[in-house]
Chain A
Amino acid sequence: AQSVTQLDSHVSVSEGTPVLLRCNYSSSYSPSLFWYVQHPNKGLQLLLKYTSAATLVKGINGFEAEFKKSETSFHLTKPSAHMSDAAEYFCVVSGWQGGKLIFGQGTELSVKP
C-alpha cells in the first residue's frame, strides 16, 4: 500500500531564508509524487510533480523537489521564502493505477517578516 509521511506539521522561517518541507513515501511500485499548496479559502494548487523523468523537479514560485529513491524522500525546497509562501503544503502520492491521490498530513508554513 502507498503512504506518505510529512515529517513536520509546522515550519516557521524568516522571509528571505531557505524553506525545507520534508516528505517520505512508501510505495511498492514506482510512484508519481506531487506537492500541492493550499492558501486560506483557496483550492489545492499543484506546485510540482514527479513522474519518473528527471529526479529534480522544478515547480511554480521558485519551489523545487528532489526524488530520492534510496531515501524514499521527496522534500520540497525554496532558496528564499516570501511572505506570500505562507500556506499549508501537502505531499501526495498517486495510487497504483492512477486515480485516487493519497495525502500526507500537511505542513503549515509560516513566514516571519
Chain B
Amino acid sequence: EPEVTQTPSHQVTQMGQEVILRCVPISNHLYFYWYRQILGQKVEFLVSFYNNEISEKSEIFDDQFSVERPDGSNFTLKIRSTKLEDSAMYFCASSGNRDSGETQYFGPGTRLLVL
C-alpha cells in the first residue's frame, strides 16, 4: 500500500540554524500539507500546496517558513532560522484532491528539537 514517507525521523539543531524537513507524498496525489504538533498540544495546520504554489497557510506559517516541491517526488518544509518554540513533531500529508471529505494520508513525522 502506498504511503507518505518523511526524513529525517529526528532532527536536533541549534537555535538560528536552518532546517529542511523532507517528505515524499503518495505518487499520484496532487495536494500536499504540513502540520505540526508541539508536545502536549493539538496537531495544527501549517500550509497546503497545490500546483507549485501555496493554496492556504495558517498564522503560524510566517516568513520563517517556506515550502517547495523541488522535483516530481519530494515536498520540503524549510525553517530559515529556527527558534526554541519551533520544537515539535512535523507531519506531512497528501491527498488526491481537496474536497471536504477527502482523506489526507500522513507520514510518520519528523521530531524537531531546537536547542
Contacts and interface: CB of A to CB of B under 8 A. Distances in A.
Do A and B actually bind? yes
A104 B28 CA distance: 29
Given A94-B101, A98-B98, A43 B45 contact: no
B88 to A, nearest CB: 13
Given A32-B101, A98-B98, A44 B106 contact: yes
Contact of B45 (A31, A44, A52, A102): A102
Interface residues of B, number: 30
Interface in A63-113: 90, 94-106
A99 B101 contact: no
Contacts, number: 68
A32 B42 contact: no
Contacts of A41: 9, 108
What range describes how many residues of A lie at the interface? 20 to 34
A18 B4 CA distance: 32
B42 A100 contact: no
A49 B103 contact: yes
A28 B109 CA distance: 31
B47 to A, nearest CB: 9
B103 A42 contact: no
B99 interface: yes
A51 interface: yes
Given A31-B100, A43-B107, A52-B101, 17 more contacts: A32-B100, A32-B101, A34-B103, A41-B9, A43-B91, A44-B91, A44-B93, A49-B101, A90-B43, A97-B98, A98-B97, A98-B101, A98-B102, A99-B48, A99-B55, A103-B42, A106-B42
Interface of B: 3-4, 9, 31, 33, 35, 41-45, 48, 55-56, 58, 91, 93, 97-109
